[in-house]
């Protein structure tokens, strides 16, 4: 028997409906923030990710799916969203668009070859945003507010932002030198990966999971002490705007994030989730003002975040949050004869194209079995076709809750459903309710 690859999942049934609901909330929220959807290729030239994500990151050194295509070109399945979007931004000359900044969001599949564990898979779905062309601290705060509001809308509790700054190039260079000097006499006491990071990017040592509890790391210099005045002012402005947006945050001077391209603002967002243990981080990101020109574009500021939807869905399940999934049918069409079946086919098409969720009998069941099937499908109404009634231009509709049966003229069936049922799929009701509460 063929089975799915390790680190992947089949998503179907009620779980798939939950995913679709969350995706709908995301799309609605992004519309409110006026971010445009972007889709980039699932595989791109390996060089893009090696240059864009960073040669010293674990993603590039340990986790990418690299392969040669039939043209002997070195390709990589995308491990994250930012590099591909920056490439698209440059290639499509979005920096020349009249509307600036360029505000984009993505929601797609990523691939990382890592040891599968709870909340971490080899095939993952990631949602994130990128804002290119603006260096205003307000944009930093706005980007941070997006996942915060998403988590609150979905019902997660005690959402908190951990924030830090790496400063500008001067500040980061000063901090890098301080780390080199500090770690030099201790480097042999750290793991092999950290010893390699020391040579290439000592900031990455602070993100080490192996030595996270080592006193050497705990006592390392912190970024705040090496900021120049301009970087301090910028960080203060980011915090000011977060306060104006009513986003709770804590300054975490140990936070550096795991990608080489970050500067200035870096952040992680967590929520209280029983069952996650100490790691409740659900989203993270930061500013990357040097990435666009690194990949061949003009000097352009940028900031973004990414989050794994699989981990978010797990958090919702662990917190036992009931999503308002619409899984009821507006109508189930029942019949016995061939002529009734043909009419049912036409009627189902008519109702579906007018916005109603409709199913019908396909399996040749008895009428008694069709009633059971309608109950399984949670149909609000039953349309029970009868040739004699059809000849009189009426059809019988049964309210499956009240059990009331009504003969409805064929030409008036839409009027009946307009009064009796709603055709909503995903609505903005939860989002609107949340926004109204905050306005109050």
Report long-range pairs for 371-374 (Cβ below 8 Å, ≥24 apart).
Answer: 371/334, 373/332, 374/329, 374/332, 374/334, 374/400
Query: Which of 128, 184, 200, 137 has the alpha carbon at shortest distance from 165?
Result: 137
- Does residue 279 register a pLDDT over 80? no
- Does residue 260 register a pLDDT over 70? no
- Does residue 258 register a pLDDT over 70? no
Over residues 122-181, the pLDDT tens digits come to 999 999 999 999 999 999 999 999 999 999 999 998 899 999 999 998 888 888 888 888
The token pair at 88 is: 């698209």
Distance CA 405, CA 216 (A): 76
Over residues 61-92, the pLDDT tens digits come to 678 899 999 999 999 999 999 999 999 999 99
Domains of the chain (ranges plus CATH)? 13-168+228-318 (3.30.930.10), 331-420 (3.40.50.800)
Identify the residue with better confidence: 265 or 280.
265
- Does residue 263 register a pLDDT over 60? yes
Query: Is 254 within 8 Å of 206 (Cβ atoms)?
Result: yes
Distance CA 22, CA 14 (A): 13
- Does residue 59 register a pLDDT over 70? no
Query: Is 399 within 8 Å of 420 (Cβ atoms)?
Result: yes
Distance CA 418, CA 364 (A): 30
- Does residue 49 register a pLDDT over 70? yes
Over residues 393-411, the pLDDT tens digits come to 999 999 999 999 999 999 9
Distance CA 272, CA 160 (A): 9
Distance CA 30, CA 103 (A): 10
Distance CA 33, CA 14 (A): 29
What is the DSSP pairing of strand 157-165 with strand 249-251?
parallel
- Does residue 27 register a pLDDT over 70? yes
Distance CA 332, CA 382 (A): 5
Distance CA 310, CA 401 (A): 36
What is the DSSP pairing of strand 43-45 with strand 263-272?
unpaired
Mean pLDDT of the chain: 89
Query: Is 60 within 8 Å of 53 (Cβ atoms)?
Result: yes
3-class SS letters over the chain: CCCCCCCCCCCCHHHHHHHHHHHHHHHHHHHHHCCEECCCCCEEEHHHHHHHHCCCCHHHHHHCEEEECCCCCEEEECCCCHHHHHHHHHHCCHHHCCCCCEEEEEEEEEECCCCCECCECCEEEEEEEEEECCCCHHHHHHHHHHHHHHHHHHCCEEEEEEEEECCCHHHHHHHHHHHHHHHHHHHHHCCHHHHHHHHHCHHHHHHCCCCCCCHHHHCCCCHHHHCCHHHHHHHHHHHHHHHHCCCCEEECCCCCCCCCCCEEEEEEEEEECCCCCCCCEEEEEEECCCHHHHCCCCCCCEEEEEEEHHHHHHHHHHCCCCCCCCCCECEEEECCCHHHHHHHHHHHHHHHHCCCCEEECCCCCCHHHHHHHHHHCCECEEEECCHHHHHCCEEEEEECCCCCEEEEEHHHHHHHHHHHCCCCCCCCHHHHHHHHHHHC
Over residues 284-336, the pLDDT tens digits come to 999 999 899 999 999 999 999 999 999 999 999 999 999 999 889 999 999 99
Lowest mean pLDDT among 31-35, 100-104, 260-264, 330-334: 260-264
The token pair at 388 is: 């004699």
Identify the residue with better confidence: 279 or 337.
337
Report the pLDDT value the prediction gives residue 56, as an integer from 0 to 100.
Answer: 54
> For residue 75, what are the β-bridge partners?
45, 67
Q: What is the pTM of this model?
A: 0.86
Residue 260 C-alpha from the chain's centroid: 22
Distance CA 108, CA 38 (A): 10
Distance CA 15, CA 434 (A): 24
Distance CA 203, CA 256 (A): 7
- Does residue 265 register a pLDDT over 90? yes
Q: pLDDT above 90 covers what percent of the chain?
A: 68
Question: What average pLDDT does the segment 194-220 reach?
Answer: 75
Distance CA 381, CA 207 (A): 57
Name the pLDDT band for 426 (thresholds 50, 70, 90). very low
Q: pLDDT above 70 covers what percent of the chain?
A: 91
- Does residue 238 register a pLDDT over 70? yes
Name the pLDDT band for 23 (thresholds 50, 70, 90). very high
- Does residue 41 register a pLDDT over 50? yes
- Does residue 377 register a pLDDT over 70? yes
Residue 129 has φ and ψ, to the nearest 5°, of: -130, 155
Report the pLDDT value the prediction gives residue 57, as an integer from 0 to 100.
Answer: 62
């Amino acid at each position: 028997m063929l089975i799915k690859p390790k680190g992947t999942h089949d998503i179907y049934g009620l779980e798939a409906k939950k995913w679709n609901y969350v995706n709908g909330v995301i799309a609605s929220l992004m519309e409110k923030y006026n971010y445009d959807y972007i889709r980039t290729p699932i595989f791109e030239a390996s060089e893009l990710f090696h240059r864009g994500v960073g040669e010293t990151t674990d993603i590039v050194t340990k986790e990418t799916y690299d392969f040669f295509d039939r043209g002997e070109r070195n390709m990589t399945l995308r491990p994250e969203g930012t590099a591909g979007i920056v490439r698209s931004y440059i290639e499509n000359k979005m920096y020349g668009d009249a509307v600036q900044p360029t505000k984009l969001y993505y929601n797609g599949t990523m691939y990382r070859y890592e040891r599968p564990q709870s909340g971490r898979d080899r095939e993952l779905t990631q949602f994130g945003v990128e804002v290119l062309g603006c260096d205003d601290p307000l944009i930093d705060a706005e980007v941070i507010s997006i996942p915060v509001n998403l988590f609150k809308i979905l019902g997660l509790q005690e959402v908190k932002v951990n924030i830090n700054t790496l400063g500008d190039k001067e500040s980061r260079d000063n901090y890098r030198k301080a780390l080199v000097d500090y770690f030099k006499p201790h480097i042999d006491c750290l793991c092999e990966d950290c010893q390699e990071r020391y040579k290439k990017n000592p900031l990455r040592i602070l993100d080490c999971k192996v030595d996270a509890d080592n006193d050497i790391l705990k006592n390392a210099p912190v970024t705040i002490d090496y900021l120049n005045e301009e970087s301090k002012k910028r960080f203060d402005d980011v915090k000011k705007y977060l306060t104006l947006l009513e986003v709770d945050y804590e300054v975490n001077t140990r936070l550096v994030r795991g990608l080489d391209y970050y500067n200035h603002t870096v952040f992680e967002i967590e929520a209280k989730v029983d069952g996650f243990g100490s790691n409740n981080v659900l989203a993270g990101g930061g500013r990357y003002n040097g990435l666009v020109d690194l990949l061949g574009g003009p000097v352009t500021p940028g900031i973004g975040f990414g989050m794994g939807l699989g981990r978010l869905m797990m958090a919702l399940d662990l917190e036992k949050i009931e999503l308002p999934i619409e899984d009821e049918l507006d109508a189930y069409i029942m019949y016995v004869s061939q002529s009734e079946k043909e009419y049912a086919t036409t009627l189902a098409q008519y109702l579906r194209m007018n916005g109603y969720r409709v199913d019908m009998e396909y399996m040749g069941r008895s009428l008694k079995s069709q009633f059971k099937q309608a109950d399984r499908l949670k149909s609000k109404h039953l349309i029970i076709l009868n040739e004699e009634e059809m000849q009189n231009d009426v059809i019988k509709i049964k309210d499956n809750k009240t059990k009331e049966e009504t003969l409805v003229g064929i030409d008036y069936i839409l009027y009946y459903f307009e009064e009796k049922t709603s055709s909503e799929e995903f609505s903005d009701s939860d989002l609107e309710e949340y926004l109204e509460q905050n306005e109050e």
